[in-house]
Chain A
Amino acid sequence: MSTFTGTGRLILFILLRDRIRMTVWTLSLVGSMFMVIPTLADMFATPEQRMARATIMETPTGIVFGGPGYGLEEYGLGAMVANEMTQSLLVALAVMGILHVVRHTRAEEESGRAELLRANVLGSSAQITAALVTNALVSGAIGALITVSMVVNGLPLADSAAYGAGLALAGVVFGAVAAVCAQVSGYARGASGLAFLVIGVLFMLRVVGDIAERGGSAPSWFSPFAWVQQTRAFDDLRWWPLALYVLVIAILFAVAYVLADRRDLGAGLVAARPGPAGAGPLLNGVLALHLRQQRASIIAWTVAVALFAFAFGTLVTEIDGMAEQNPEIMARMGLTGEGMIEAFLGVLTLYIVMPTAAFAVLSVLRARAEEDSGRAELVLSSAVGRLRWMGSTVLVSALSGMVMMFLGGLAMGVGAASATGDTAWIRVVAEAGAAQIPVVLMFAGLTTLFLGAAPRLVGLVWAWFAYGLFVTIFGLLMDLPDWMVHVGPFEIVALLPTEEFAPVPYLAVLAGAGAAAAVGLAGFRRRDLVTA
């Protein structure tokens, strides 16, 4: 029996288990391409319109969310798609790959299901292989269908094929990163956290490299986020950057298999050490318990958000330099150099709110994990009331979300100040961050509402969050109707420093968050506990 025995069967089983999940991912990514390509063709029908568009893509914001800027000189439909869609697709593929691979490797081990499977006729490498293969299959399908979406919209076949292949290969790389992380960390949560951190760093490398030089510079070449666009598809196609994906896939697979081979089922690379024989004086209640359970993730998220915010903040000097080099671009956009920096920082604030709000939701959802696992039953059968238990969870989420948002704004301000040498930015940007705190609290409140009053509908919070991401990111590009943008969660409170601070929406959102949390808590007091 080889270590791969049973892999085929397991692949079929994963495809069956995840058929809906995989279909949704494929349809939403491919579907958005089928929608966006004709939309872009319509909206930017003339060369003049497209050139005006190209100047936006040359700004630092354009580079952060666009790419190295190939094809901007003659901005055709293909170049437009490659510049405007690639990074979003790559981020989506990364999220998909990480969640998929961790779910079918480390999470299986953690739950004990792997043990059940491995005791059958199944080789020791079958599970990791099946996870990687299925991830590659979905990535491949998405890449292929995206190529189809481009060709049917009249884009050249060779460029479309290189582009689709690049996306698919990047998806495989992201899955492989997750597979390595799943060997290192003993827990699913730790494995995906580590993988997301790695992906975040890789994304930033591409941003830093691309901003430093048009067409990318040394840092870009270390990032799989760069190589798709480095094929210069729809500009001056070259295939060889795709070889970098293949090389990295080979290395990561080898590392994952070697690590997997060296450890026991269920164990991380770091052996479990004995801990204290008794609880310290601090672990004396539910609030302390929740804080302790989330300590690692609060610190990790805060550090990550602050680092990204700082890095974004330092980009402002690039925009200054650009204004000096291309005053006409700025003039065409109706912005002075000063206002440009502020608008840039304002938009970037949203990219601090998004991860922080996601954290707030995840943090409240910990209560559900506690409930499902039966740990809540143990605690609630002691002298702890429902209100205190759930209330503490919400408090941990709200407090850590506020701190994270505040520190994120501060870090971006410090980044801007250190790059410009003007310390006034610290306060301006920190205020802009603080002005978004109600949005974070609103997500915590809404999650509480659903968890307490309608636990089955808690997915709606994520749906609204995803909708918000979509309108906020594409709203700028696609000229969506105002009402569509305004019902997104990230467009309610004023966006400082360009917009004036508006107390009414600020207080209204705060009050809404509080009311939602109160209804959720009341609902939780009245409902049955979820029990096994």
Chain B
Amino acid sequence: MSAPAIEVSGLDKYFGQFKALDGLDLTVEPGQVAGFLGPNGSGKSTTIRVLLGLLRSDGGTARLLGGDPWKDAVTLHRRLAYVPGDVSLWPNLTGGQAVDLLGRLHGRADRTRRKALLERFELDPTKKARTYSKGNRQKVALVAALASDAELLILDEPTSGLDPLMESVFTDCVHEAKRQGRSVLLSSHILAEVEKLCDTVTIIRKGRTVESGTLNDLRHLTRSTVRATTEGDPSALAGLTGVHGLNVEGADVTFDVDNDHMDQAFRALADLGLRSLVSNPPSLEELFMRHYGDELAALNGEGAAK
């Protein structure tokens, strides 16, 4: 078994008095697509910049492709490609020139792949970067990164400026990268994107990891929503352990159930004479809300107090 592509534990980073990273943990196994979730300002980009050797950590350990991200920066960078969240380019270079330059600075770039990617992302390489929109600048960095033969892709909110069509092209490209055996770290706050693409998810908050594992692992920790129609009266379900928020309207019932008590709940439903059943696993959004719900409540409370 090879070393993790990214292995971060207990990472600290201060900006003056402000503690941006507070014992953050993050692991990306080789060949996996890892989602890196957190609200704005939670430390995603800071973590990535430490991993790229642009910032120096103040504590904890960070390993990248088996090396030290600060000391071995240049050798490691040959093996990875990075797409920043807000791409700024040289205004007087065309998109095509920027793609080539980034490719050359990186080392190797595949001409055929470059051409194919430009077409797929519908990027006009003859336009000066100064005339590009945010999405087009992002495409330039994406094309350069994906055309490289990097074994690790670090993508910081790469789709924040892309339209839905381009987002789906991007999704395909990440799937391809995974098939080619590359590892991907995808930071995002678009939950659907992470749900669609990622094998594992790390959720951070205020510079600290609050949840990490595969989506399935995370789902086990929480509740599913069940909607059913039964022949008998479903009110009896209220007494079951692990069932919450029971709502009965005639023969229709909806409730949430802890995933480790699912078994009993479904048995009870079956005994009542089940006519229809829909069960939704918790969405990432619900997972996310569970960790940030109090912040939201505080915000709402504040709004109400005004």
Which residues does A use to contact B, with CB under 8 Å?
186-187, 272, 274-279, 283-286, 289, 292-293, 373-375, 377-386, 526-529, 531-532
Contacts of A275 in B (CB 8 A): 93-94, 96-97, 126-128
Question: Given A286-B105, A293-B90, A384-B105, A378 and B84 touching (CB < 8 A)?
Answer: yes
Contacts of B104 in A (CB 8 A): 279, 283-285
Partner among A187, A289, A373, A528 whose Cβ is within 8 Å of the Cβ of B55? A528
Contact bitstring B183-207, A, C-beta under 8 A = 1, else 0: 0000000000000000000000000
Which residues does B use to contact A, with CB under 8 Å?
45, 49, 52-56, 73-75, 77-78, 80, 82, 84, 86-94, 96-102, 104-107, 124-128, 130-131, 141
Q: Are the C-beta atoms of A272 and B131 separated by less than 8 Å?
A: yes
Partner among A279, A378, A379 whose Cβ is within 8 Å of the Cβ of B100? A279
Report the bound CA distance from A380 to B127 in whole Å.
24
Give 8 A-B contacts (CB < 8 Å), ordered by A residue: A275-B127, A275-B128, A278-B99, A279-B97, A383-B78, A385-B74, A531-B55, A532-B86
Q: Are the C-beta atoms of A380 and B94 separated by less than 8 Å?
A: no
Q: Are the C-beta atoms of B77 and A383 separated by less than 8 Å?
A: yes
Report the bound CA distance from A284 to B101 in whole Å.
6
Q: Which residue of B lies closest to A280 (CB)?
A: B97
Report the bound CA distance from A392 to B131 in whole Å.
28
Question: Given A383-B77, A532-B86, A276 and B107 touching (CB < 8 A)?
Answer: no
Contacts of B77 in A (CB 8 A): 381-384
Partner among A277, A285, A375, A385 whose Cβ is within 8 Å of the Cβ of B88? A375
Question: Given A276-B126, A374-B84, A529 and B55 touching (CB < 8 A)?
Answer: yes
Q: Are the C-beta atoms of B84 and A377 separated by less than 8 Å?
A: yes
Contacts of B74 in A (CB 8 A): 383-385
> What is the minimal beta-carbon distance from B102 to any residue of chain A, in angstroms?
6
Contacts of A384 in B (CB 8 A): 74, 77, 105
Report the bound CA distance from A278 to B49 in whole Å.
29
Q: Which residue of B lies closest to A267 (CB)?
A: B131
Q: Are the C-beta atoms of B105 and A285 separated by less than 8 Å?
A: yes
Partner among A278, A284, A285, A289 whose Cβ is within 8 Å of the Cβ of B96? A278
> What is the minimal beta-carbon distance from A204 to any residue of chain B, in angstroms?
30
Contacts of A375 in B (CB 8 A): 88-90
> What is the minimal beta-carbon distance from B92 to any residue of chain A, in angstroms?
8
Contacts of A381 in B (CB 8 A): 52, 54, 77, 80, 82, 84
Report the bound CA distance from A275 to B98 in whole Å.
12
What are the nearest 10 A-B pairs in CB distance? Answer: A279-B100, A274-B126, A275-B94, A382-B105, A277-B96, A381-B82, A277-B125, A279-B97, A529-B54, A382-B106
Q: Are the C-beta atoms of A187 and B91 separated by less than 8 Å?
A: yes
Contacts of B128 in A (CB 8 A): 272, 274-275
Q: Are the C-beta atoms of B96 and A276 separated by less than 8 Å?
A: yes
Q: Which residue of A lies closest to B77 (CB)?
A: A383
> What is the minimal beta-carbon distance from A193 to any residue of chain B, in angstroms?
14
Of B93, B105, B141, most A-chain CB atoms within 10 Å: B105
Q: Are the C-beta atoms of A274 and B94 separated by less than 8 Å?
A: yes
Contacts of A276 in B (CB 8 A): 94, 96-97, 126
Report the bound CA distance from A302 to B100 in whole Å.
30
Please give 20 more A-B residue pairs, beta carbons under 8 A apart, in addition to A272-B130, A275-B126, A383-B74: A187-B91, A274-B124, A274-B126, A275-B94, A275-B97, A275-B127, A276-B94, A276-B97, A277-B96, A279-B101, A285-B104, A374-B86, A375-B89, A379-B105, A381-B54, A381-B77, A385-B74, A527-B56, A529-B49, A531-B49
Contacts of A373 in B (CB 8 A): 88
Q: Are the C-beta atoms of B101 and A283 separated by less than 8 Å?
A: yes
Partner among B106, B125, B130 whose Cβ is within 8 Å of the Cβ of A278? B125
Report the bound CA distance from A272 to B127 in whole Å.
8
